[in-house]
Amino acid sequence: MPAVSSRGRGRRAMNEINMVPFIDVMLVLLIIFMVTATVITPGSINIPTAGQSSKQPDKRIDVMIDAEGKLSLGGELKEKNITEKEAVAAIKTALADNPEMPVMIAADSDLRYQQVITMMKQLREAGVQRVGLSVK
């Protein structure tokens, strides 16, 4: 039954919404979401594997980064234990004749991801057009 006010001449119904049931429902929903948020555990990341390409390039430059972060060059260039700047300079001079030659980065699975991204960035800034990641 709506609330009734006795102001003035007659009895009139007041147009008010009772907020108590709405607040009760919202508090129950809040509690339910808080409890379920603690129960749900985030899933592990499943990194996809890449298939083999149909044809390997005849000439390519391999940049190999081991678990300690040491760089080695393979493929067309054969150098071991060099710095990133030396590797980028050697790759840049090797690509002067053939700028379309691909550069593949092969990194150890225990290596920090940031080192691979840094190497890719340096190669891109040096003007290497085709940079790829080597996978199993």
Q: What is the pLDDT of residues 15-70, one digit of tens each?
A: 888 889 999 999 999 999 999 888 876 655 454 456 666 666 678 888 888 888 88
User: Which of the residue ranges 4-13, 28-37, 91-100, 122-131 would you say has the lowest mean pLDDT?
Assistant: 4-13
Listed ranges 22-26, 44-48, 74-78, 122-126; the one with the highest mean pLDDT: 22-26
127 φ/ψ sector (left φ>0, alpha ψ -120 to 50, else beta) = left
Instruction: For CATH 3.30.420.270, list the domain ranges present in the chain.
Output: 61-133
Mean per-residue pLDDT over the chain, rounded = 79
Residues 6+ apart with CB under 8 A from 83: 71
Of the candidate CATH numbers 3.40.50.300, 3.30.420.270, 3.40.1010.10, 1.10.760.10, the domain formed by 61-133 belongs to 3.30.420.270
Phi, psi (5° rounding) for residue 121? -65, -45
More confident position, 46 or 9 = 9
Q: Supply the DSSP symbol for 69.
A: -
Average of per-residue pLDDT across 82-94: 87
The DSSP bridge pattern shows strands 4-5 and 71-75 to be: unpaired
- Predicted structure pTM score: 0.57
Name which of 48, 50, 65 is nearest 104 in CA terms: 65
